[in-house]
Structure 1
Amino acid sequence: MSMQPRLMLVVSPLMEHNPAFDRAAALAKAEGAALHIVAFDYLDGLATAGLVNEQALEQMRLGYVERHRQWLEEKARPLRKLGIDVTTEVTWVERPLKEILIHLREAPMDALIKTMDPESWISRFMFTPLDVQLLRECEVPLHFVNTVTHARPRKILAAIDPFHRDGCYKDLNDRILAEANKLASSCDAQLEVIYAYDLSSITAAEYGFGNGSTFFSSTLARQLYEAQGATFQALAERNGIAAEQRRMIMGDPTKVLASYAGAHDIDIIVMGRVRYDGLDKLIGSTVESLLYKMPCSIWVIAPQPVD
C-alpha cells in the first residue's frame, strides 16, 4: 500500500493570505496529499522590545504565536471541509532555515511550498535571502509560488539540460521529467519540455577540440547542435514525452525560459539545480538567476546526494 503524499507549506510570520495558500490547497486536493502548514514566527520589533521585562516580553511572544496558530486554524477549516488532511504549527525562531531543514528530516515531505519573497538586487548582494538559502540547501522538491492565475496549474514547463560536461547530474533530467509528468498528471495539466541551449559561450577545448581560446567553427557548432538534439530527443523519448511537447530553442537559458514562460502563460516551470561548493555559491546557477525574474512559479528538483 502506498503512503499518502505529504506537502509542507511555509507561511509568513505576518498573518496574511497569499497565493501559496491557494496553490498548496489545490495541489493537496489534486494529489490526495496531506498538507502541513507551518509558520516560523519572529518579529524584530517584538523580539527586541526593551521597554518591558523578560517575563512580559515572553507573554507577548506567546500571545502572538497563539493568535497566529488560531489564524492558521481558521484558514485550515475550509480546506478540511474539502477533504484535505490539514495540520498547522507555529514556532518562534529567528533563523528559520535550520528549523525548516530539521522539520524535513524528522517528517519527510514530498514537496516544500513557499511564497517567493521579493528582494532587491542590493539586498540579494549584501545578504542571502531565505529563498536562496532554501534553493541551495533543501533536498526535497521546492515550489516557489509567484503570481497565481490558476490555483491548480494548467500549463507546466519542464526545463532540462541533457548535455552536462560531467556525470554528477546524469540522472537529474530524468528526475525533472518524472516530477513534471507526475505533477501534470495529478493536475490534469498540459506539459511541455524545453531545452534552451547556448553555444556562444562554449570553446572548443571544453570538448577536446584544440586550443581553449578557439571558438567553435560553424561546422563544429552544427555537429554539437545535432548531438545535443539527438540526446534531447532520446531523453524525451524514454520519459514518454511526445514530439509535439518538445521545444529546443537557442539562446541564453535565463532569457529563453523567462520569455517562453511569459509568452505561453506557463503556471509552473520545473527545473533542476546544481550543488554548490566553496566559491561556487557566489556564482549561482540558472535557476537562481531566474528566481526573481520568472513570470510564473518555479518547482526546483535537487540532485541526488553524492556518495
Structure 2
Amino acid sequence: MKEYKKILVIINPTTDHQAALDRAIELASKSQATITAFLSIFDFSYEMTSILSAHEREAMRQGVIDQRTAWLNELISKINLEKIDINAQVVWHNRPFESVINYAIQGDYDLIVKSTHAHDKLKAVIFTPTDWHLMRKAPQPVLMVKEHDWPVAGKILCAINVASEDEDQQNLNGKIIQYAQDLALKFSASVHLVNGYPGTPVNLAIELPDFDANAYNDSVRMQHEQRVQYLADSYNIPIENCHVEEGLPEDVIPELAEKLDAELVILGTVGRTGFSAALIGNTAEHVIDSLNCDLLALKPDGYKSPLAE
C-alpha cells in the first residue's frame, strides 16, 4: 500500500488543542511523513464592506490571513515535540471542504486528518457537514480523530463486504485490510474483520408457510462466514479475529467496535451493495455517529472526486 509521505491536517480555529494534529504527528513519526497544518477561513463582513475598494478589501483579508498564520505557527511550535516537518497553510475560502479537497488534490497528499466532535452524553462522534463532504468527495483516505491516544496492542476493526462478488468491491476489501495491517504494524495493534448479514425477511416467512427460516438463516450465515474466513486466510488474519454477525451495518459495526474497545474502524465509503453501499447517505450517519473511536474512510482505487472534474 502507499505510505503516508504527505499528511494534510485540518486545523480547528476555535481551540488550541488540536487532536488531529497530535494524531498526524504520531503517524508521521512512524513513517517519516511531512505535515501541512491547513486552516480555511472566511468572513462575510470583509466581502460585503462596500465602502472599501477591492484593494482595501484584499489588504484586510491578507491581514487576517497573516494573523491566523502567526497563531498557527505558534501553536505548531508548542506541540511539535517530535520535531516533525510541519508547515502552516492558511487560505481564504467560503466553502472549507472545497478548499481542503482542492488543496489535497493539487498537493498530492496521501491522507487527510480531521478531528471530530464528541457528544458528552452518548460519547458518540458527531460529524459536521464539512466532515461528510470530505468523506464523500475526497479521493484521499480521510481519518476522523477523537480525543484519545492509540495505545500499543490496540485493535483495528475492518468493515468488509463479502456479499458482493463485484471486483471493485473485493479490491476495496483488500485495500481496507492492507491499510489496517500497515497501521497495525506501526502501532503493534491487531486486525479484526467484521461483516454483517441480513436476517430472514419477515414477509417471506409469512407468505411461504413451508419456508424454513432457520435453515435459510443458517445458510446465509455459513456463506458469509466462509467468505470472511477465506479473506482472512488470504491476509493471515487469525480466525478468532473474524466477526460475522446477523444485522444491519449501522448496528453491527458500532456494537462490535464497542465490544472490542477498538481504537480505529476502517471502512469503504463508495460502493453499490452491502456494507459499502450502506455507508452512503442516512445509513452512514447512523453507523458513524454511533462509533466511539477514530474512523478511517477509504475510497476505491481510481475514485475521482466530483470537485476535480
Return 19-28 or 214-223, whichever deviates more: 214-223
Answer yes or no: is the 8 Å Cα contact 1:159–1:193 preserved in 2: yes
Q: How big is the shift at 1:81?
A: 5.0
Give, in whole Å, the separation in 1 of the partners of 2:85 and 2:148: 23
- Aligned with 2:228 (options 227, 232, 235): 232
1:267 matches 2:263: yes
The answer as to whether partners of 1:113 and 1:145 remain within 8 angstroms in 2 is yes
Mark the runs of 5 or more structure 1 residues left unpaired by the alignment: 120-127, 205-210
Partner of 2:30: 30
Task: Report the TM-score, using the length of structure 2 for normalisation.
Answer: 0.79
User: Hey, what's the Cα distance between the residues in 2 that align with 1:15 and 1:223?
Assistant: 52
Q: 1:143 to 1:202 in 2, by over 3 A?
A: farther
Tell me the secondary structure at the aligned position of residue 289 of structure 2.
coil
Deviates further, 135-144 or 256-265 = 256-265
Residues 4-52 of structure 1, C-alpha deviations (whole Å, 9 max, x = no match): 72211011344532321211111111222111111111234x4456496
Matches of 2:214 and 2:3, distance apart in 1? 53
Change in Cα spacing, 1:281 to 1:250, as seen in structure 2 (3 Å) is closer
State the alpha-carbon separation in 2 of the partners of residues 282 and 185 from structure 1.
27
* Deviation readout 1:32-88 (Å, 9 max, x if unpaired): 2111111111234x4456496355544443222112111221232356552412121
Between the aligned residues of both structures, percent identity stands at 23
CA contact 1:23–1:152 (8 Å) conserved in 2: no
Work out whether 1:258 is the aligned partner of 2:254: yes
Instruction: Tell me how far 1:273 sits from its aligned partner.
Output: 1.3
Q: Which residue is equivalent to 2:140?
A: 140
Contact kept? 2:200, 2:213, Cα under 8 Å: no
Residue correspondence of structure 1 range 236-247 to structure 2 within 5 A: 236-247=232-243
1:110 alignment partner in structure 2: 110
Pick from 290, 295, 300: which aligns with 2:292?
295
TM-score (ref. length: structure 1):
0.80
Q: 1:215 to 1:133 in 2, by over 3 A?
A: farther
Contact 1:68–1:90 under 8 Å retained in 2: yes
Structure 2 unmatched ranges of 5 or more? 120-127, 305-309
**Paired residue secondary structure (1:171):** helix
Distance 1:142 1:135 in 2: 6
Q: Secondary structure at the match of 1:114?
A: strand
The one-letter code matched in structure 2 to 1:12 is N
SS of structure 1 residue aligned to 2:301: coil
Question: Who is 2:307 aligned against?
Answer: none
Tell me the equivalent position of 2:125: none
Shift of 1:283: 6.1
Q: Show the counterpart of 2:123.
A: none
5 Å-filtered alignment, 1:56-135, equals: 57-78=57-78, 81-117=81-117, 129-135=129-135
d(CA) in 1 for partners of 2:59 and 2:259?
51
Counterpart residue type for residue 223 of structure 1: S
**Change beyond 3 A, Cα 1:182–1:75:** same
Q: Within 1, Cα distance between the matches of 2:138 and 2:17? A: 24
